[in-house]
Structures are given as structure tokens and as C-alpha cells.
Amino acid sequence: MRVRILGAGIVGLSVADELIRRGHEVTVVDPAPGSGASYAAAGMLSPAGEAWYGEESLTRLCLSSLALWPGFADRLGVPVHTRGTLLVGVDAGDVQQVERQLAVLDLAGVSYERLLRRELLAREPGLGRVAGGAFLAEDHSVDPRAVVAALLARVGDRAGLDTPPPSGSMVEPGERQRAGVETNTAADVTVIATGAHLPAPYSSLIRRVRGDVVRVRTQERVERTVRAWAHGEQIYVVPRIDSDEVVIGATTEERDGPLLPTVEGVWRLLDSARRVVPALDRASVVEATSRDRPGTADNLPLVGPTHEPGVVLAAGAYRNGVLLAPLIARLVADHVETGSVEPAVDPRRFRMKEDG
Ligand code: GLY
């Protein structure tokens, strides 16, 4: 098949890599590869840490994709940080939040280890005053920028990588790509993987959920990902396996506006992070980034056919784009080859607005 993929974020590139591996002829179009949500992502592979009520299907998909990650990372030559994740609460109210989350894991059949304060400190000596928590042994992390770089190298070598010059704003590629959908007849299938900005008539399927993220460098050892409730704020602290970088994330805001981190967002992240890991006080701030998560109305992705023949979505990965990338790649490639569709993520479950 000749497949054209719109969007070179982690999802689009993973789809490209999978299709190339299966012998298809692939072209990827993106004015600025890897510059969307993949650029901000902390890279948590965290089905348990992200699990919540009413999202059982999403948790099941995330667990399936986690199982694909070791092989995927091996192929790309990127390390996976496999020291697990601590889920902690700073005060008594926060520990109740943690308990609620553990109840969700009980329902999903996902195991965890409940830990007392001193046991948490034994796992992560840099923790501040936390009141309680749990260890999520199977929640890992990767560096998404390293994953995108590895995918770009592989895909760039073996596919057409078309990077038309951006026309100013990051939010315009969708419109440019829509023009491509209409005029390009060289492809048998077009896969739309343009993240938070889908072209018409699909744009209404996505709700953009803004996230601010801060990257710091620290000489202090942070052993593993810490997900925390800190006086009602939810944050995560994700150390890199092979560098002194630590990612502190993320705000969750249902709003638009300039794609720049806000003072309030950055302040809330840093204030909570230094309560959870006090040594981060001495870290150097290297970057604050803001990107939109591609959310959907039911928080499940949009993967598979549309009402337009030959147009397939690989979209709506919301908070789990990095984790879900290998599963989405497999589902899209299976669909292209056999027509199979995973009902839970079938884009046709939603009506599309004609005006986009
Ligand atoms: N998965 C973490 C986030 O979306 O912030």
C-alpha cells in the first residue's frame, strides 16, 4: 500500500515505522516534526498512575500498549526506565486521593504495593514530608525526545519525509494537511496523526487540554518517577535514566490561548515539586513548555477508519500518546492491511460536524 501520514509526532512516526516494517510505501508530512505534544511529554509509561474511574477501556488499552514497549524500545535503541513509580500523598487529604486511585486499580486488577512513609523514603530518599502512598512497579518511563529522534532517523532513512515550511503558527499544519488530503491522489490511504489540531471535518472530535511542563537539571539523585498529590495539586516528577534532567509536570487546563506556559502554571508545578522532592530547590530550570493534549469526548483515542474512504485517524491519545504509540501503530497497520477495527477506539463512534 502507498500510505501518506499527516503528522510526525510520536504517534505518526510510530505508525510510519510499523507500516514500513510491514513493507508498505510511506510518506510522512509535517512542517515541524516532533514539535507538538511529543515535545512536551514527560514520557511516563504509566497505565496505573493514569487510571481513573470510568476509564476502564483506556486502562486496558494502556496495559496492552505497555506490553509492546520493551520490543519497541529495543528496535529504536532507546532505554526504558524500569524502576517503577511512587504514588504519594503529601497531607491526609492527598492520601485519600491516593486511596481512591488504588481502589480504581483494585477494580482494574492492577497490582501495587501500599507503603508507609518510612518505606516510601527507603525507595526514594529525596522525598519530602509525604504522609503515605504506594509503589506502582510496572509504571515506567522513556525520554520521548529520544524516541522521536530515533523514529525520525529510522523513518527518514526509509520513507519520504516531507517537511513543508511552516506558515507561522504551530496550529496551522492541520489546515495545510487538509489541502493535501483533498488533492493528493498518489496514496491508497491517508493517516491523520496531527495531534491536537485535526483537519476538517475531524477537528471537532478533539478537545485541546493544555499542559505546562518544566524541565530542570539536578545533581541530586531522583531514583524513580514520583506522582504526587500535594495539598490537592497533582504533579509528577520524572527523572531521566541517562542524564541529570528531571521533568516536572503537568498542568491540566481546558483552555486555549498562546502556546506558552503561564506564570501561575509554572509556579504551581514548582511549588508542588519542591514540597514533594525538596532537593529540587537547587535544580536549574532549563525549560518551561506548553502544549495541548489531544483529548476526546470520552478520553479514548480515535484509531481507525472514518466515513471518508481511505482516510484513517491515529489521533486523540490525550494523556497517553507516548504510552499508546506502539499500540496505535499496530492497530492502524492491521486496519490498513485487513480492515480490522478495535471497537473501543473506532472514530465512527462520534458524529463529525460538517463545518469541522
Ligand atoms: N500523561 C501525563 C500528562 O498528560 O500530563
Whether residue 79 lies inside any domain: the answer is no
Same domain, 225 and 269: yes
Residue 97 domain boundaries: 85-137+208-295
How many domains is the chain partitioned into structurally? 2
Specify whether the CB–CB gap between 312 and 190 falls below 8 A: yes
Q: What is the pLDDT of residue 170?
A: 45
d(CA 13, CA 40): 16
Q: What is the number of other CB atoms lying within 10 angstroms of the CB of residue 139?
A: 28
Calpha distance 151→165 (Å, rounded): 21
The residue nearest atom 4 of ligand 1, judged by CA position, is 319
**CATH number, domain at 99?**
3.30.9.10
Identify whether 80 is part of a domain.
Answer: no
pLDDT digits (tens, 9 = 90+) for 257-298: 999 999 999 999 999 999 999 999 999 999 999 999 999 999
Q: What is the pTM of this model?
A: 0.94
Domain shared by 196 and 213, yes or no: no
Ligand 1: does its nearest atom lie under 6 Å from the Cβ of 283? Answer: no
User: Ligand 1 centre and the CA of 158: distance in Å?
Assistant: 31
Choose the final residue of a domain: 254, 270, 295. Answer: 295
Query: Is residue 109 a part of any domain in this protein?
Result: yes
- 152 and 285 inside one domain: no
Q: What is the 3-state secondary structure (H, E, C) of the chain?
A: CEEEEECCCHHHHHHHHHHHHCCCEEEEECCCCCCCHHHHCCCEECCCCCCCCCCHHHHHHHHHHHHHHHHHHHHHCCCCECCCEEEEECCHHHHHHHHHHHHHHHHHCCCCEEECHHHHHHHCCCCCCCCEEEEECCCEECCHHHHHHHHHHHHHHHCEEECCCCCCCCCCHHHHHHHHHHHCCCCCEEEECCCCCCCCCCHHHCEEEEEEEEEEECCCCCCCEEEEEECCEEEEEEECCCCCEEEEECCCECCCCCCCCCHHHHHHHHHHHHHHCHHHHHCEEEEEEEEEEEECCCCCCEEEECCCCCEEEEECCHHHHHHHHHHHHHHHHHHHHHCCCCHHHCHHHCCCCCCC
Check whether residue 133 and residue 215 sit in a common domain: yes
Has residue 15 been placed in a domain? yes
- 227 in contact with ligand 1, CB cutoff 6 A: no
Cα–Cα distance, 278 to 274 (Å, whole number):
4
Instruction: Tell me which of 320, 322, 323, 324 to substitute to probe ligand 1's pocket, judged by most ligand atoms within 8 Å of the beta carbon.
Output: 320
How does residue 186 score in pLDDT terms, banded at 50, 70 and 90?
confident
291 lines ligand 1 (CB under 6 A): no
- Taken as a whole, the chain contains a residue count of 356
Interval between CA 52 and ligand 1 midpoint (Å): 13
Please determine, for residue 7, whether its predicted confidence score (pLDDT) is greater than 50: yes
Note whether residue 48 is domain-resident: no
- The CA 50 to ligand 1 mean position distance, Å, reads 8
Residue 27 lies in a domain: yes
Q: Is the CB of 211 under 6 A from ligand 1?
A: yes
CA angle 256, 162, 319 (to 5 degrees): 35
pLDDT value of position 175:
42
Q: Separation of 187 CA from ligand 1 center, angstroms?
A: 34
315 occurs within a structural domain? yes
> Do 188 and 150 belong together in one domain?
yes
Considering the domain architecture, whether residues 130 and 199 belong to the same structural domain is answered as no
pLDDT of residue 353: 65
What is the mean pLDDT of the segment spanning 201-221? 96
Say what the pLDDT of residue 167 is: 56
Closest-CA residue, ligand 1 atom 1, reads 319
What is the average pLDDT across 333-350? 98
Q: Is 150 in the pocket of ligand 1 (CB under 6 A)?
A: no
115 and 237, same structural domain? yes
pLDDT tens-digit map of 19-40:
999 999 999 999 999 999 999 9
Same domain, 266 and 249: yes
Q: Does ligand 1 come within 6 angstroms of the Cβ of 43?
A: no
What are the tens digits of pLDDT across the range 119-146? 999 999 999 999 999 999 999 999 999 9
Residue 299: Cβ within 10 Å count: 18
Whether pLDDT at 14 is above 60: yes
Q: What is the pLDDT of residue 184?
A: 56
Residues 154 and 258 in one domain: no
Of 254, 269, 295, which residue sits at a domain end?
295
The response to whether residue 314 sits with its C-beta less than 6 Å from ligand 1 reads: no
The residue whose CA is least distant from atom 5 of ligand 1 is 250
Q: What is the pLDDT of residue 158?
A: 85
Statement to judge: residues 131 and 219 lie in one domain: yes
Residues 162 and 222 placed together within one structural domain of the fold: no
Contact 248, 235 (CB under 8 A): yes
What average pLDDT does the segment 56-78 reach? 98
Work out the average pLDDT over 232-253: 96
Question: Are 290 and 168 in a shared domain?
Answer: no
Atom of ligand 1 nearest to the CA of 46: 1
Question: Which atom of ligand 1 is nearest to 252's Cα?
Answer: 5
- Within-domain flag for 51: no
Q: Which of 270, 295, 320 is the last residue of a domain?
A: 295
91: left (phi over 0), alpha (psi -120 to 50) or beta: beta
